[in-house]
Structure 1
Amino acid sequence: MSTPATSNKLNGSRHIVLALYKFVKIPSEEIPSLKAQIEEKLRLVKARGTILLAEEGINGTICYAENEAGGPSHDLVKDYLNNHEYFMGIRTRTSYTDTAIFHRLKVKIKKEIVTIGGEIDETDESKKPIGYMSKCEIDPNKMKGTYVKPGKEWDDLCDDPDVVVIDTRNKYEIEIGTFENAINPNTDNFRQFPDWLHRFADKCKEANEEEVPDRCVLNTKSTTEDNARNNNPVPEEDMPIVRKKPKAIAMYCTGGIRCEKSTSYTLAAEVFPKDIPVYHLEGGVLAYLDAHPDEKKSKWKGECFVFDQRVAVTHGLKPSEKYNACHACRRPISTEDMQRDDYVKGVSCRYCKDSANDKSKQRFEMRQKQMDLAQSKGSRHIHDPKELNE
């Protein structure tokens, strides 16, 4: 359903979608030249997408035509990354689409490749973490949870009533798909996660193991629908009710990077007692769906949100046929959502209809008209001015 315009096709070749990340120490003085080098290499194959560089490593998702990169047996992008002194052993996940899923290429320098909690700076109100965050070193190269393969081993954790499985993604991602028995932290962003985790751990300590032989259950009292709290801790009414102390903690995210950092924090901050092991799904949900093309044999229910024009993928990493994205708020919306009276293409959906002001809606309406006009002419409304041979 979320299919880019046919003008995104390059030379009739299918596109490689490459999700990648690696935590590795990169000297700050080398990052600007490394950024330029990466961008040069990616533009040679007309890659599009976003790459983030920081002193803690690299993260991103890009797409490029298979024949531009040399074909499946000789991929110039993968060869470059795997042979680079900093990126050897980089974690990648490959899938395929008929068209490009990004409009342009961006290589950005950031303070972190994935932001958790917030900066510990008590003198600057804007840099304080959301709620409580321990002052500890977060370095997945030194400390992180134990990897669990995306197969029977992970399924067994999901089925174990004494293991708490935590989805570290945001609530709008979880709404369209998650693992059986997993806990939804109800976070709007990853910055809220450390505070939620400490509060959740406190509930585990207080739980009466003899009271009810169930794992945590979701507190269903909340009616929160907006994003007004995204700079505040998760409200207490959105916290799960804990009825049993866990014997282990297992975390997961889309591609593995968020749960790798969250398990590093969990261990470094000693959030749970040391006798409770901490696991995380190797390669994230994408690895699991890639390894489980048959949804009938899967513990995953629904689809997996991705941050590109596909919006979501299903088992076997097939692009979603059910979800699109609201062009105003970028939330995933279903075919049913688009049939609602409050849906206006490119302008608003049920999630953002009351949050945008009239000026913003007028701007969105004009943008949608420009997009429709460009598509009718067989051209792209958004393009990359630096892309070679354009």
Structure 2
Amino acid sequence: MQLYNTLSAKERATLIEQAGKQRLTLSFYAYSKIGNPTLFRNHLFVLWNEQDVLGRIYVAHEGINAQLSVPADNFNEFKTKLDAIPFLENVRLNIAVEQDNKSFLKLKVKVRDKIVADGLNDDTFDVTNIGVHLKAKEFNELLADPNTVCVDMRNHYESEIGHFDGAVTPDVDTFRDSLDIIEEDLKEHKEDKNLLMYCTGGIRCEKASAYYKHKGFKNVFQLEGGIIEYVRQVNEEKLENKFVGKNFVFDHRRAEKISEDVIANCHQCGTPCDTHVNCENEACHLLFIQCDACKEKMQGCCSEQCQEVHNLPFEEQKELRKGTHNSNKIFKKGRSEVLKFKK
């Protein structure tokens, strides 16, 4: 029984091109007690590998967090088999705003301690006592309320290129970092303010809302389905769009354009730009914002030092990487002294 990928990303990309068929990028999550995550992981891999599903999926005792690329003509079969899993029946599927056939090039189903790295001890509070879910129309109404504090539960590199108008955007590297900062900043308003939260697809807010209710916040609300579902409802119901810029996504697309506004800057020259790239020096791979002019000048690298390494023969680059781990800059996305115009 095959329980792992046998094709490289390059080989898979070629097959997708040759097939010439449309694929759908979508995501979903569900909190549910899974007794044997490894067994469930293996079941999903076999099931989805047969359906040519690609993506990045995390399975844990607490549930599942999935980001997928599904062949459009196989979608009904995919949905039918998903619904056959009791706790996933009729789970909300967040369909991407912008589609790309190569959003994912491998099927990766991984067992993790948590489906989102929140650093919390779930035994210390009721994770099912969550905040009020809001549709897009209700979200807009509460956002306009002067008694509301709207908080972006994403990381700095996500909110830098796009966020809701008037939202608080914590300058944090991880979801866990934001939890204590927000509680401290709003400690005087636990009873008299509306705490309105949002994230990409809703999963971070699901846990955060229960955590903040445990911490004494009385009026906790969250955007159901996150930014992805919000945009769908805005377009379908002809609502006013309150999201400015791009929505950062965790696949090869890196972002979806929600409005025409460009609210970020190239990290190298400061010109308006909201295109994330990874440094072409494989030993660095830093995620940062780079305009086309700087991309050409720097050959897609974040610094002159990385550019020099990138221009070395491949074998020399491999030698330089031997015995060393990738820089922590990779995990501190957009955090580097070489980026002169980082906000």
Query: What is the TM-score with the length of structure 1 in the denominator?
Result: 0.65
- 1:312 counterpart = 2:255: yes
Matched residue SS, 2:168: coil
Asked if the contact 2:244/2:258 (under 8 Å) is kept, the reply is no
| CA distance in structure 2 between the aligned counterparts of 1:306 and 1:330, rounded to whole angstroms | 16
The residue that corresponds to 2:124 in the other structure is 136
Question: Residue in 2 aligned with 1:374?
Answer: none
**3-state SS of 2:172 partner:** coil
The aligned runs of 1:36-47 (5 Å cut-off) are 36-47=42-53
For residues 307-360 of structure 1, the C-alpha deviation after alignment (integer angstroms, 9 at most, x for no partner) is 0111111239xxxx962422454535253574585x432xx33xxx39x8799x
Partner residue of 1:79?
A: 80
Note the alpha carbon deviations across 1:33-71, whole angstroms, 9 max, x for none: 21111001111122211111011100010102223x2xx
Displacement, 1:363? 9.6
Q: Deviations over 1:136-183 (max 9, x none)?
A: 2252xx211100001x21111221121000000001100100001100
Shift of residue 193 of structure 1? 1.8
Alignment coverage as a number of residue pairs: 287
Q: What is the CA distance between 1:77 and its match in structure 2?
A: 1.9
Instruction: Quote the offset at 1:15 in angstroms.
Output: 0.6
Is residue 2:299 matched to residue 1:344?
yes
What SS is found at the alignment partner of 1:106? Answer: strand
Aligned equivalent of 1:33:
39
Q: Which runs of 5+ in 1 are unaligned?
A: 121-133, 206-244, 371-390
Distance change in 2, residues 1:98/1:258 (3 Å): closer
**Where does residue 139 of structure 2 map in the other structure?**
154
Cα distance in 2 for residues equivalent to 1:23 and 1:288 = 21
The equivalent position to 2:24 in structure 1, one of 16, 22, 27, is 16
Task: Report what 1:102 is aligned to.
Answer: 104
CA drift at 1:83? 1.8
Residue 203 (structure 2) pairs with residue 257 (structure 1): yes
In structure 1, how many angstroms separate the alpha carbons of the residues matched to 2:38 and 2:211? 28
1:65 equivalent in structure 2: 71
Cα deviation, residue 261, structure 1 = 1.0
How big is the shift at 1:101?
1.0
Cα drift, residue 194 of structure 1 = 2.0
**CA-CA distance at 1:297 after TM superposition:** 2.9
Name the amino acid aligned to 2:252.
Q
Distance in 2, matches of 1:364 and 1:197, equals: 45
Contact map agreement 1:164 1:246 (CA 8 A) in 2: no
Aligned to 2:131: 145
CA distance in 2, matches of 1:305, 1:366: 31
For the residue of structure 2 that corresponds to 1:115, the secondary structure is coil
SS class of match (1:9): helix
> How is 1:327-342 mapped onto 2 (pairs within 5 angstroms)?
327=279, 328-329=284-285, 331=287, 333-335=289-291, 338-339=294-295, 341=297
Look up the match of 1:237: none
The code of the aligned residue for 2:257 comes to T
**Is the 1:15–1:63 contact (alpha carbons within 8 Å) kept by the matching residues of 2?**
yes
Q: Secondary structure at the match of 2:251?
A: coil
Contact 1:293 1:315 in 2 (8 A): no
| Aligned position for 1:236 | none
Q: Which AA in structure 2 matches 1:90?
A: V
Deviation of the 1:76 alpha carbon: 2.0
Taking the aligned partners of 1:365 and 1:42, their CA distance within structure 2 comes to 39
Which residue of structure 2 lines up, in the alignment, with residue 267 of structure 1? 213
Q: Secondary structure at the match of 2:231?
A: helix
Aligned residue in 1 for 2:330: none
The match for 1:131 is none
C-alpha separation in 2, matches of 1:10 and 1:197: 49
* 1:90 aligned partner: 91
CA 1:22–1:332 in 2, change beyond 3 Å: closer, same or farther?
farther
Partner residue, 1:48: 54
Per the alignment, residue 275 of structure 2 pairs with 323
Structure 1 residues 337, 311: CA separation in 2 closer, same or farther (over 3 Å shift)?
Answer: farther
Give the structure 2 partner of residue 286 of structure 1: 228
Say if 2:200 and 2:228, in contact at 8 Å, map to a contact too. yes
Please state how far the C-alpha of 1:263 moved relative to its aligned partner. Answer: 0.5
CA contact 2:245–2:258 (8 Å) conserved in 1: no
Q: Percent identity?
A: 28
Range with greater deviation from structure 2 (278-287 or 76-85): 76-85
What letter corresponds to residue 173 of structure 1 in structure 2? E
Shift of 1:32: 1.7
Q: Distance in 2 between matches of 1:108 and 1:363?
A: 35
> 1:169 corresponds to which letter in structure 2?
R
